[in-house]
């Protein structure tokens, strides 16, 4: 594996770490001050710092070093995590995400000077613990050395302590000998040792037997070996995971009695060795400390200062590491390979349907093997699609950052409530839902929520609430963005639509129709153009993107109490359950998710409207009858509703009854893009291949129902 591939793995782990930090911050904001939550944030930053150093991302490494310093003071109890300090920590996360993105994309690193100053101020301008400073001699020399050497000395000061108790007696014994190919896979032994110490490991022996003379040293080879003892509570998979990107042959892991702590002369010998290969940069005398000031000023720049070695070697009490949870068994697969697998399974489904069709034509459709093949094929297809499924958490995790940015830009106070973040959906939907969701969140904060003083005057809390939820409903995923703000001012929306020429001044619209005016291109009710809104671009893009995913969007609003936007999307874009129908000599698939019912009407249920219009009475409400043959120009189709089949469907524009000749079957079909293979056709969402080899078009219900308009009540029709 080349260095670029390893670096890509590092950036993938960065994304996973940033997502984990978002979850930890949510717990901290909810009042959870558990030490493991804070340690989780620290570990993520620490891992990013180590990888950044290994791959030469100096700006990212420098920033994470200062960030890590503050987190270390919080986790060891030196600083209390107050709400103000939590705001600094969360704000620093935003800059960290920008740093990671810049390093990954090769862009210019973000400006971080202001945030570094805030981090240093929060840390008190000095990273050394107060107890250590008090115990240090007034005029003792202090060694200014590199960050890595400082970290190594601190690590050795920790791991050289003895480990007692039953856990040690049954612990793990690890032999780590990098050997001649130590750096071939981009691994850094020092970083690996750090990871082991974070699991509770203790270095018991450093083997220098293979170390040659200075003249014979090869810079790319490793000559040292380490013996490490780890607690029995650590899972074996967690230990081996430390070395998963290197050569697994460099470690030997066994159960048994832990080695005794490194002898004092061995510690001194190892320190002498490190001194010889990483000499201090300078020796400076520490001046006599002045009397303590009431409020120490922050240092102008970060300074790495090491404590005297004598202090480092002193025992320190560490919180016992909790029992490690079983490691998740996962594997990374290239997306191209996964997409190819999905396509092949789709072709297998089509071939199975063709085989079933041929056997049925030869009176062999009832054989048991055919039924077993159909069952296994469907199960294989569902399992393959489940591999592509991802939780909505990958999208929802970005929303808290958007909310924080909007709070700063608008001056509003917002609380975000998230539900159903583990609801799974196809990865294609996850990738393409981000932009519409961002527009809806920005709309909820900018247009929905009022300013704090206005909310208080109206009897509400100063803090507005935005609720984001996801749930499975009837084979689809429904994502809801709701707020408790002022709702839609319909009078203002209508006036703005008349002003922009979207509707006529004498137009009579229902509340639902007025609400849908906000999706018109170029529509905006913002009084002034800002960084958040006002340019008339946003909600129309939302509707187009949702419709492109085969979904629909609905609005519910109550003036003075808030609004709710619901996105109904298919769980996957690759397959769908549909009803096979015929229209003339053509075959169509109507998605089951849109179908309400099907029926053969009589004359009583039908009413004429104009010269060509027909309405169907559906339990007291009239819906328009739409002839697909007329819409798409199909010859030879049935046009008399009483001699045909009507399928009542529901789309974004209300209900309608689609007139078809016959219903053939109901089955799951593999969706093929018509636009990619031919061209886009209005009223057609895609195509599929049936068992007999024919191509069937998939009806675009939303486009068809847009011709039919809204359903009306019987009383309204009579009037």
We report the CATH number of the domain holding residue 527 as: 3.30.565.10
- Contact call for residues 483 and 465 (beta carbons, < 8 A): yes
Q: What is the mean pLDDT of residues 106-124?
A: 86
pLDDT tens by residue, 492-504? 888 888 888 888 8
CATH number (domain holding residue 254): 3.30.70
Q: Are residues 482 and 433 in the same domain?
A: yes
| Within-domain flag for 310 | no
Lowest mean per-residue pLDDT among 68-82, 437-451, 554-568, 700-714: 700-714
pLDDT(549) > 90: no
pLDDT band at 180 (very low <50, low <70, confident <90, very high): low
CATH number (domain holding residue 611): 2.40.50.180
* Cα–Cα distance for residue pair 536/540, rounded to 1 Å: 9
Instruction: For residue 504, give its domain range.
Output: 392-570
Q: What is the mean pLDDT of residues 135-144?
A: 37
Most confident by average pLDDT, 128-132, 167-171, 201-205: 201-205
Q: How many CB atoms lie within 10 A of CB 242?
A: 21
Q: Domain end: 279, 296, 323, which one?
A: 279
Q: How many CB atoms lie within 10 A of CB 279?
A: 10
Q: Are residues 104 and 5 in the same domain?
A: yes
pLDDT of residue 702: 77
Q: What is the mean pLDDT of residues 544-557?
A: 82
Q: Domain end: 123, 158, 182, which one?
A: 123
| Within-domain flag for 288 | no
Q: Are residues 272 and 167 in the same domain?
A: yes
CATH number (domain holding residue 100): 1.20.120.160
* Cα–Cα distance for residue pair 633/641, rounded to 1 Å: 17
Q: Are residues 184 and 260 in the same domain?
A: yes
pLDDT of residue 318: 40
Q: Are residues 222 and 349 in the same domain?
A: no
| Within-domain flag for 560 | yes
pLDDT tens by residue, 210-268? 888 877 777 777 788 888 888 888 888 778 877 765 665 578 888 865 444 444 444 44
- Contact call for residues 514 and 490 (beta carbons, < 8 A): yes
pLDDT(298) > 90: no
| Within-domain flag for 447 | yes
Percent share of the chain, pLDDT over 70: 75
Q: Are residues 587 and 705 in the same domain?
A: yes
Most confident by average pLDDT, 315-319, 331-335, 468-472: 468-472
Q: Are residues 611 and 681 in the same domain?
A: yes
| Within-domain flag for 320 | no
Contacts of 161 (CB under 8 A, 6+ apart): 202, 261, 315, 316
pLDDT band at 582 (very low <50, low <70, confident <90, very high): very high
Most confident by average pLDDT, 329-333, 336-340, 628-632, 658-662: 658-662
Q: Are residues 424 and 549 in the same domain?
A: yes
Contacts of 471 (CB under 8 A, 6+ apart): 419, 420, 423, 477, 478
| Within-domain flag for 257 | yes
Q: What is the mean pLDDT of residues 362-376?
A: 80
- Contact call for residues 98 and 152 (beta carbons, < 8 A): no
| Within-domain flag for 581 | yes
Q: Domain end: 88, 123, 158, which one?
A: 123
Q: For 365-394, what is the HEC assignment?
A: CCCHHHHHHHHHHHHHHHHHHHHHEEECHH
Domain count, the chain: 5
| Within-domain flag for 522 | yes
pLDDT of residue 707: 64
Q: Are residues 439 and 552 in the same domain?
A: yes
From the centroid of its chain, how far is CA 452?
Answer: 30
Q: Are residues 402 and 543 in the same domain?
A: yes
Q: Are residues 563 and 415 in the same domain?
A: yes
Please give the model's pTM, rounded to 2 decimal places.
Answer: 0.56
Q: Are residues 608 and 669 in the same domain?
A: yes
């Amino acid at each position: 594996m080349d260095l670029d591939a390893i670096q890509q793995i590092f950036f993938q782990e960065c994304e996973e770490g940033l997502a984990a930090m978002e979850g930890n911050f949510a717990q901290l904001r909810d009042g959870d001050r558990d030490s493991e939550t804070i340690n989780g944030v620290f570990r993520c930053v620490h891992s990013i710092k180590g990888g950044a150093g290994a791959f030469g991302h100096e700006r990212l490494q420098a920033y994470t070093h200062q960030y890590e310093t503050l987190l270390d003071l919080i986790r060891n109890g030196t600083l209390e995590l107050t709400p103000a300090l939590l705001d600094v920590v969360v704000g620093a996360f935003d800059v960290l995400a920008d740093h990671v993105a810049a390093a990954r994309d090769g862009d210019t690193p973000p400006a971080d000077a202001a945030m570094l100053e805030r981090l240093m101020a929060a840390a008190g301008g000095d990273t050394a613990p107060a107890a250590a400073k008090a115990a240090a001699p007034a005029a003792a020399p202090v060694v200014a050395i590199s960050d890595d050497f400082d970290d190594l000395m601190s690590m050795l000061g920790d791991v050289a302590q003895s480990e007692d108790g039953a856990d040690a007696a049954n612990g793990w014994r690890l032999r780590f000998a990098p050997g001649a190919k130590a750096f071939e896979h981009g691994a850094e032994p020092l970083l690996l040792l750090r990871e082991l110490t974070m699991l509770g490991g203790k270095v018991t022996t450093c083997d220098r037997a293979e170390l040659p003379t200075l003249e014979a040293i090869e810079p790319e080879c490793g000559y040292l070996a380490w013996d490490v003892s780890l607690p029995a509570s650590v899972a074996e998979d967690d230990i081996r995971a430390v070395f998963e990107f290197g050569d697994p042959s460099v470690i030997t892991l066994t159960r048994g009695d832990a080695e005794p702590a490194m002898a004092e002369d061995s510690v001194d010998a190892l320190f002498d060795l490190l001194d010889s290969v990483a000499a201090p940069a300078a020796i400076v005398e520490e001046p006599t400390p002045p009397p303590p000031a009431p409020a120490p000023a922050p240092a102008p720049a970060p300074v790495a200062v090491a404590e005297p070695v004598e202090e480092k070697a002193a025992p320190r009490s560490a919180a016992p590491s909790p029992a490690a949870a079983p490691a998740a068994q996962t594997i990374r697969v290239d997306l191209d390979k996964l997409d190819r697998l999905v396509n092949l399974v789709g072709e297998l489904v089509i071939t199975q349907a063709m085989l079933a069709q041929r056997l049925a034509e030869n009176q062999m459709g009832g054989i048991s093997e055919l039924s077993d093949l159909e069952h296994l094929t469907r199960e294989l297809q569902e399992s393959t699609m489940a591999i592509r499924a991802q939780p909505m958490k990958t999208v929802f995790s970005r929303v808290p950052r958007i909310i924080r940015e909007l709070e700063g830009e608008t001056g509003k106070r917002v609380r975000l409530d998230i539900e159903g973040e583990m609801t799974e959906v196809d990865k294609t939907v996850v990738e393409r839902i981000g932009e519409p969701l961002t527009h809806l969140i920005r709309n909820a904060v900018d247009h929905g929520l009022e300013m704090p003083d206005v909310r208080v005057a109206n009897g509400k809390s100063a803090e507005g609430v935005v609720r984001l939820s996801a749930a499975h409903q009837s084979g689809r995923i429904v994502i809801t963005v709701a707020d408790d703000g002022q709702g839609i001012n319909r009078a203002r929306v209508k006036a703005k639509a008349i002003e922009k020429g979207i509707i006529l001044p004498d137009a009579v619209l229902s509340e639902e129709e007025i609400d849908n005016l906000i999706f018109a291109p170029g529509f905006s009710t913002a009084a002034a153009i800002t960084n958040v809104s006002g340019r008339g671009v946003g909600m129309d893009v939302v509707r187009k993107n949702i419709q492109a995913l085969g979904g629909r969007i609905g609005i519910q609003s109550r003036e003075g109490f808030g609004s709710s936007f619901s996105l109904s999307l298919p769980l996957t874009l690759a397959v769908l359950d549909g009803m096979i129908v015929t229209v003339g000599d053509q075959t169509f698939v109507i998605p089951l998710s849109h179908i309400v019912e099907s029926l053969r009407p009589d004359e009583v249920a039908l009413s004429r409207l104009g010269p060509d219009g027909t309405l169907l009475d559906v339990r007291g409400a009239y819906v328009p009858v739409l002839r697909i043959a007329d819409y798409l120009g199909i010859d030879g189709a049935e046009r008399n509703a009483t001699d045909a089949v009507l399928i009542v469907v529901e789309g974004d524009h209300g209900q309608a009854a689609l007139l078809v000749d016959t219903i053939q079957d109901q089955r799951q079909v593999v969706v093929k893009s018509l636009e990619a293979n031919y061209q886009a056709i209005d009223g057609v969402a895609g195509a599929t291949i049936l068992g007999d080899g024919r191509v069937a078009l998939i009806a675009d219900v939303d486009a068809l129902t847009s011709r039919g308009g809204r359903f009306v009540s019987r009383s309204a029709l009579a009037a």
